[in-house]
Amino acid sequence: MVNLTVSKRIELLCEVVPNARKIAMLANANNPNTPASIKTALSTAGMLGRDVLPISVATESQIAEAFHTLDQDKAEALVVEADPFLLARREQIVSLANYQRLPTMYSFREFAAIGGLMSYGASLASAYREAGIYAARILHGERPDELPVLQSSKLDFVIKCCGS
C-alpha cells in the first residue's frame, strides 16, 4: 500500500498543480522505506512527464537546508513522505512550505489541519483505533501469532479551504 499512496500523492499533486514539471520529494534518510518510495515517485512522475528531486533529511536542521535547496533548484511543488520523524516536525515543514509558497502534498491530515495545502494517506486515528482493538484481543486471551496482520484501509484526502 505504501507504493500506491506514493503514486497517488504524485498524481493528485500533478492534478492540482498541472504546470509543475519539477517536483521535490522530502523523505527521512533513516526510514528503510525511503528508497522504495523514491523509486515509486520517480517512476510515477516519469509516466506523467515530470521530474522528481528526492531530498532525504535526518535532522531538524537538514529540513531547513532542504527548503533552501528546493528554492535554489526551483522546485515547483513538493511531496512530503509518510514518516513519523517528518510528522513530528510538521509545524516546521508546513511553515517553510507556506513561506516559500510551494504547493505541497503531505502524507497525513495532521499537516493540512495546521495549514498545509493538502494531504493523502492513512488515517492515523483509524490506525490507532485498530491498534487498540488488536491489543484488547490479545489482553482477552487471543494469541498474537494467530491474529491476522492488519493494515490501515482508511485513507484520508484533505484539501485546505481558503477563507476570505
- The predicted-structure confidence for 64-101, as pLDDT tens digits, reads as follows 999 999 999 999 999 999 999 999 999 999 999 999 99
Q: Would you state the pLDDT for residue 11? A: 95
State the Cα–Cα distance between residues 23 and 5, nearest whole angstrom: 16
Q: Would you state the pLDDT for residue 53? A: 96
Q: Between vectors from CA 90 to CA 84 and to CA 93, what angle results, nearest 5°? A: 120
Q: Would you state the pLDDT for residue 149? A: 81
* Interhelix angle 90-99/60-72, nearest 10 degrees: 20
Q: Would you state the pLDDT for residue 2? A: 58
Q: Would you state the pLDDT for residue 162? A: 62
What the chain holds in terms of domains, given with CATH numbers, is 2-121 (3.40.50.2300), 123-156 (no CATH)
pLDDT by residue for the chain (164 residues), tens only, comes to 457 789 999 999 999 999 999 999 999 999 999 999 999 999 999 999 999 999 999 999 999 999 999 999 999 999 999 999 999 999 999 999 999 999 999 999 999 999 999 999 887 777 777 778 888 888 898 898 888 887 767 788 888 876 54
Burial class (CB in 10 A: 0-12, 13-18, 19+), 79: buried
Q: In sequence order, what DSSP letters do the residues of 65-82 get, joined into one string?
A: HHHHHHHHTT--EEEE--
Q: Would you state the pLDDT for residue 164? A: 40
| pTM to 2 decimal places | 0.84
